[in-house]
Structure 1
């Protein structure tokens, strides 16, 4: 899979100096964490879930979360689990084909969840585990798929019920993750991984009242950091649950405001990045919060998108600008830029219309690319300061090295835009492609 793979070859050739590179569910964790991009959530109750996954992949979605938690009612959980197992099973049959080396049914080779739990949370897949199909044959043309559970017990239960179809999964999402509840989730993930032989990643969601409340936040963050460090190789990214954080105070941002305009939320984001987003090798990828809005609601404030960047975009830049405004995407774009400025990468999305904007804005600009390469070249030569290739800023090799490394990793996954290609043109191509 690759970002912007849904665009025609000639369109990609016109837009990209360096095109996005291919990756797969078996790629390294750093690449996958960067590649998550706009992670689209979908309720697991949807009867068309299998078709939805294929349709969204064809539209450029690269990561999806199939949700068993807050997106469905409490009384729907049992039915949602059954639907999820059935839909993924059918999807697996479509992609891998019955009897095409998909691996034995769970349990034939002696892998058991009880045995995996007994081995302890730190165990990797054991010799007796069932070898689930992990080649790209069964995940080709599909997004990275995750299941958001409600409780740790669902992880091992679903892994067993899915059988070989667990080969479609990249991992699980853990809601309301704390230093106390987190250990149970991570131990269950390790057990499922050991029993199935499938590499599975964790994405904990930080959204509990203990993080919102000042008196418990510090202790929680350091406790979570210690816990995640024990399972570092299994943690793909840390996600932020801003809706739940706002809920602790009865707050909700309007479509004209970003998460950073809500002081309480901005403080939590800053502290999470401070502890868990460090660039010294101890940190993790931290993703941007959900944008809750789509069209219909009447606006109170003027749109935040200037006309100028869209003037030369093709097709009709102004038409694209109006479409963005009508879908409240100007607020999303503003928040995404603030996410990046605050150390976040990617974004949680609950509507397909959000995905093109997030991905278009994730493309590395020609200016960023030049700066990043120059900084790393200068750092390898001993450091020092130099004027940027665009002659508009100072590039200091040692302080800017970590930024440059992150930019080049993003360039590998999302590509580098040509010098004369703006984000407006990238958005136009994504929205109209």
Structure 2
């Protein structure tokens, strides 16, 4: 990875208007936690795409910072061999072009594919690692060991992102024991594990549920319970936790709505963007906006996405406001505890309880930048989309 930065596709004058502190460029030598935050909206693309290399490059040019070439659920059984060949070819073509402008991963179907892929990669490849689906204690260590072996073999740092989505994690009678065992395995490979992903589609599938676009994943109680348990076990801020990424939002086209949109009119009227709000609502993206807000409220960073239209929304809502940034600096600068009013005089900052929050905000500020005081999410969204 030569360098990844958010909003890099926008002109300098637009960046200056939006940001008090611009997003920093991250490299392979950056803090793994910051790289994990930099995943942002991770866009999945089927390995069977005929124009895979050009798709990856186009998406990077449009602001995507992480992509996954999918060999698993997006590819049917009859096309597995062709998909594997396509993925290897794409990574090698990018190496030949000396191109590495985003974090690129391959989602494998079976652990043995890791060695097959790595053995055929060209020198100087830009592969950042592997997504490990259906990860569970009984079989997951094999996949992590394969990633570790691949990194040793190539002398190239490779990350792993396990996906939690199997019955052992989901069902109440096995969940706690399973998550404890998963945590023990992940801790043994901590240097490799970039982030833990949540497979909400598979989780819902175990109950015959496909959530409607009128609701968020947090309205599906059985799925929300699983997410809460994963964050509780694996997302702690006591040096035992990992970055947890948000589940996929499946929808991107309009439909007949049962409920009124919850997206407020005022920010869009104030920004002369009423038509833009209508476009968001017509494409069900107001539901995505709400779910991202709930992701953040539940300790989750970034999101799996399956459509380019989702990327800018995830990134816009990941930026740090000037108010958050000033609060985080005030809290991080004091280790003795106590409480003090925010510099914005609208809340109390409790220095010990809020410290972990503050440190995460400073990492997120480095990755996504700090917006100016008069900039809101509508400004970011309209700048991203060119409205």
Identify the TM-score tier after normalising by the shorter chain.
over 0.9
Residues 91, 127 of structure 2: 8 Å contact kept: no
Residues 177, 205 of structure 1: 8 Å contact kept: yes
Match of residue 260, structure 1, among 192, 198, 218: 218
Hey, what does 1:91 align to over in structure 2?
Answer: 94
- Give the Å deviation of 1:371: 1.1
- Give the alignment's Cα RMSD to 1 decimal: 1.1
Deviations 1:396-425 (CA, angstroms, capped at 9, x unpaired): 000000000000100000000000001111
SS state of the match for residue 233, structure 1?
Answer: coil
Residues 160, 195 of structure 2: 8 Å contact kept: yes
Hey, what does 2:248 align to over in structure 1?
Answer: 290
Deviations 1:61-120 (CA, angstroms, capped at 9, x unpaired): 00000000001101111000111122222222122xxxxxxxxxxxxxxxxxxxxxxxxx
Residue 335 of structure 1 pairs with residue 306 of structure 2: no
SS state of the match for residue 163, structure 1?
Answer: coil
Residues 25, 144 of structure 1: 8 Å contact kept: no
Whole-angstrom distance in 1 between the partners of 2:384 and 2:153: 41
Deviations 1:179-230 (CA, angstroms, capped at 9, x unpaired): 0111110111111111111110000000001111000101110000000000
Whole-angstrom distance in 2 between the partners of 1:426 and 1:359: 9
Hey, what does 1:386 align to over in structure 2?
Answer: 340
Hey, what does 2:309 align to over in structure 1?
Answer: 353
Hey, what does 2:127 align to over in structure 1?
Answer: 169
Hey, what does 2:353 align to over in structure 1?
Answer: 399
SS state of the match for residue 250, structure 1?
Answer: coil
Residues 293, 328 of structure 1: 8 Å contact kept: yes
Match of residue 412, structure 1, among 359, 362, 366: 366
Whole-angstrom distance in 2 between the partners of 1:388 and 1:179: 44
- Give the Å deviation of 1:269: 0.5
Hey, what does 2:267 align to over in structure 1?
Answer: 309
SS state of the match for residue 56, structure 1?
Answer: helix
Deviations 1:348-407 (CA, angstroms, capped at 9, x unpaired): 000000000000000001111111111122x23x22111112222111000000000000
Q: TM-score, normalised by structure 2?
A: 0.97
SS state of the match for residue 395, structure 1?
Answer: strand
Hey, what does 1:119 align to over in structure 2?
Answer: none
Which of 1 and 2 has greater Rg? Answer: 1
Whole-angstrom distance in 2 between the partners of 1:426 and 1:156: 41
Whole-angstrom distance in 2 between the partners of 1:49 and 1:300: 37
Whole-angstrom distance in 1 between the partners of 2:256 and 2:108: 35
Please give the residue correspondences for 1:177-196 in structure 2 after superposition, counting only pairs within 5 Å.
177-196=135-154
Residues 129, 158 of structure 2: 8 Å contact kept: yes
Structure 2: segments with no counterpart, 5+ residues: none
SS state of the match for residue 239, structure 2?
Answer: coil
Whole-angstrom distance in 1 between the partners of 2:91 and 2:143: 22
SS state of the match for residue 252, structure 1?
Answer: coil
Runs of 4+ in 1 over 6 A off after TM superposition: none
Please give the residue correspondences for 1:45-84 in structure 2 after superposition, counting only pairs within 5 Å.
45-84=48-87
Hey, what does 2:160 align to over in structure 1?
Answer: 202
Residue 363 of structure 1 pairs with residue 323 of structure 2: no
Residues 248, 305 of structure 2: 8 Å contact kept: yes
Match of residue 6, structure 1, among 9, 13, 16: 9
Structure 1: segments with no counterpart, 5+ residues: 96-137
Residues 327, 353 of structure 1: 8 Å contact kept: no
Please give the residue correspondences for 1:20-169 in structure 2 after superposition, counting only pairs within 5 Å.
20-95=23-98, 138-139=99-100, 142-164=101-123, 167-169=125-127
Provide the aligned length of Structure 1 versus Structure 2. Answer: 384
Greater shift in the superposed pair: 257-266 or 322-331: 322-331
Residues 310, 425 of structure 1: 8 Å contact kept: no
SS state of the match for residue 362, structure 1?
Answer: coil
